[in-house]
C-alpha cells in the first residue's frame, strides 16, 4: 500500500493537513489522538454513509481513547437548513454534553461537511472539527478551505461562516460505494480546477476518462491530490474570498441558480456546476476571450463524464432573479468567473445582463 499523500494548507495557526490515501480510514483515531488534547468526539453522518463506515470510524476513535457518540441526519441537500443545525445542537447539549474540547467528525459528503462545519463554528463559539469526506466532490472541494453553512429557501449557502477544520482525512477506498451519478457529480469540481488553473489536469481528464470512471486507484489519487493542491494554494492566498479565491466559484453563479430553481432535488451540486461551466464558457467565448478551440473541448468532456451541459427549461427572468439572490453579487452585479483559455480563469465584475441572457437562451432557457 502506497503511503498517503499529504497536502498542507498554510494558514498560520489555522493550518492543517489534507491526508489522501487508500485503505487508511481505520487510522483516523490514532492521528487525531496525536494532535488533539480532548478525548470526546461526536461523529456527524447521514443515513446512507453511517451504515457503511460509521462503525469503522467509531471503532478507530475508541481505540485511540476517545469517548464517541454519533448523530445521524437524513441524506440529501434538502436537510441543509437551520432546522437540522438546531437538532444537532440539541443532541450535543442534551445527549452528549459536549464541551469546548469536543471534536466533531464530519463523516459524509458535502452536505454533512457543510452542516457539521457550521455547527462547529457556532457551538460554544467554536469547537474543533475534522472532515472525513466520503464523496469525490467533498474530497476535492467542499472539505477543504473552511466554507461552512446551510441553505435558505431563497438561495444556496446564504447562511454560513468561514471556519477551518483541524484535519481532512480522505480515504479514496470509500468512493467504491458511490453510485455512478454521484461519482460524475464530483468530477465536475475536478474539471473546474483544470479550467481555472491547471491545463495539464484538464488534459489528464480528457485522456483518461475510462480509468477515472473505473476509479483506478492511481488515477484517483492523482486527480484528488492535484485538486486539493490547487485549492490549498488558492485558499492559502485568500482565505475569505477577498480576491483570487473567487476563482473557485467557476460554474457556481449559474449552477446555484439551477439548484435553487429546481428545489435542490433534481440536480446534484456537481451536475449544476457542470451546467454552470458551460454558461460561463459561452459568455467567455462570446466575449472573444476563450478561443473556439478551447471552448469546443469543455462540453464534450463534461458529456463523457456523464454530466449535463444544458439548462433546465426555466425562463431567462427566472434565472436572472435566482442569480440575483446569490451571495456572489457585489454592488448589484454578479461576479462571474470566466475563461481566457483552458487553465486561465479570470474574475469578471463587468458582465452585462445582455451577455448573460444570450448565453442562457443558447443553452436552453426560454425567452
Write down the catalytic residue from 31, 80, 147, 335: 147
Catalytic residue list contains 147: yes
Residue 309 sits at φ, ψ, to 5 deg, of -130, -5
Catalytic residue among 156, 197, 245, 285: 245
245 is catalytic: yes
Using the Cα atoms of residue 86, residue 18, residue 242 and residue 294 in order, give the sign of their dihedral: negative
Residue 231 is among the residues annotated as catalytic for this protein? yes
Q: Which residues contact 172 (CB under 8 A, 6 or more apart)?
A: 20, 21, 22, 139, 215, 217, 220, 221, 224
State the catalytic residue, choosing from 241, 259, 271, 355. 241
The CA–CA distances, whole Å, from 282 to 40, 244, 305, 358 equal 50, 22, 19, 9
Q: From CA 349, how far away is CA 17, in angstroms rounded?
A: 33
157 in the Ramachandran plot: left (φ > 0), alpha (ψ -120 to 50) or beta?
Answer: left
Distance CA 179, CA 106 (A): 20
Catalytic residue among 231, 268, 277, 285: 231
CB atoms within 10 A of CB 211: 14
Annotated active-site residue in 31, 269, 285, 335: 269
Active-site pick, 249, 259, 285, 335: 249
Catalytic residue (one of 24, 252, 268, 285): 252
Measuring CA to CA, which residue among 137, 360, 147 is closest to residue 261? 360
Active-site choice (256, 268, 285, 335): 256
Q: Give me the catalytic one of 189, 239, 259, 271.
A: 189
Known catalytic residue at 367 = no
Reply yes or no on whether 63 is catalytic.
Answer: no
Catalytic member of 94, 125, 179, 218: 125
Known catalytic membership, residue 249: yes
Task: Give yes or no: 325 in active site.
Answer: no
- Is 173 considered catalytic here? no
Give 73-96 as a DSSP string.
Answer: E-SSGGG-SHHHHHHHHHIIIIIS
What is the rounded distance in angstroms from the CA atom of residue 5 to the CA atom of residue 171?
11
Q: What are phi and psi of 347, to 5 degrees?
A: -90, 125
Catalytic residues: 125, 147, 189, 231, 241, 245, 249, 252, 256, 269
Amino acid at each position: 500500500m502506497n503511503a498517503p499523500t499529504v497536502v498542507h494548507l498554510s494558514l498560520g495557526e489555522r493550518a492543517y493537513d489534507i491526508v489522501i490515501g487508500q485503505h487508511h480510514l481505520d487510522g483516523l483515531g490514532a492521528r487525531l489522538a496525536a494532535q488533539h488534547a480532548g478525548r470526546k468526539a461526536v461523529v456527524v453522518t447521514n443515513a446512507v454513509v453511517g451504515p457503511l463506515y460509521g462503525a469503522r470510524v467509531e471503532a478507530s476513535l475508541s481505540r485511540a481513547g476517545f469517548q464517541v457518540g454519533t448523530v445521524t441526519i437524513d441524506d440529501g441537500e434538502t436537510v441543509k437548513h437551520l432546522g437540522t443545525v438546531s437538532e444537532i445542537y440539541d443532541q450535543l447539549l442534551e445527549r452528549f454534553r459536549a464541551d469546548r474540547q469536543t471534536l466533531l467528525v464530519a463523516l459524509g459528503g458535502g452536505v454533512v461537511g457543510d452542516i457539521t462545519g457550521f455547527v462547529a463554528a457556532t457551538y460554544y463559539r467554536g469547537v474543533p472539527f475534522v472532515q472525513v469526506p466520503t464523496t469525490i466532490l467533498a474530497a476535492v472541494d467542499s472539505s477543504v478551505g473552511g466554507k461552512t453553512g446551510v441553505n435558505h429557501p431563497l438561495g444556496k449557502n446564504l447562511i454560513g461562516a468561514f471556519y477551518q477544520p483541524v484535519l481532512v482525512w480522505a480515504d479514496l477506498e470509500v468512493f467504491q460505494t458511490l453510485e455512478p451519478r454521484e461519482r460524475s457529480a464530483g468530477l465536475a469540481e475536478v474539471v473546474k480546477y483544470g479550467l481555472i488553473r491547471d491545463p495539464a489536469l484538464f488534459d489528464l481528464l480528457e485522456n483518461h476518462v475510462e480509468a477515472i470512471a473505473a476509479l483506478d486507484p492511481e488515477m484517483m489519487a492523482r486527480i484528488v491530490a492535484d485538486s486539493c493542491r490547487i485549492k490549498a494554494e488558492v485558499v492559502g492566498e485568500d482565505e475569505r474570498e477577498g480576491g483570487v479565491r473567487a476563482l473557485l466559484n467557476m460554474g457556481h453563479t449559474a449552477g446555484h441558480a439551477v439548484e435553487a430553481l429546481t428545489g435542490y432535488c433534481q440536480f446534484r451540486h456537481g451536475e449544476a456546476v457542470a451546467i454552470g461551466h458551460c454558461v460561463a464558457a459561452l459568455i467567455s467565448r462570446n466575449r472573444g476571450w476563450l478561443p473556439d478551440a478551447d471552448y469546443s473541448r469543455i462540453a464534450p468532456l463534461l458529456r463523457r463524464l456523464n454530466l449535463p451541459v444544458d439548462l433546465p427549461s426555466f425562463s431567462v427572468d427566472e434565472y436572472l432573479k435566482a442569480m440575483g439572490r446569490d451571495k456572489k453579487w457585489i454592488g448589484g452585479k454578479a461576479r462571474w468567473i470566466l475563461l481566457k483559455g483552458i487553465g486561465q480563469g479570470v474574475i469578471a465584475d463587468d458582465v452585462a445582463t445582455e451577455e448573460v441572457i444570450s448565453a442562457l437562451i443558447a443553452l436552453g432557457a426560454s425567452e
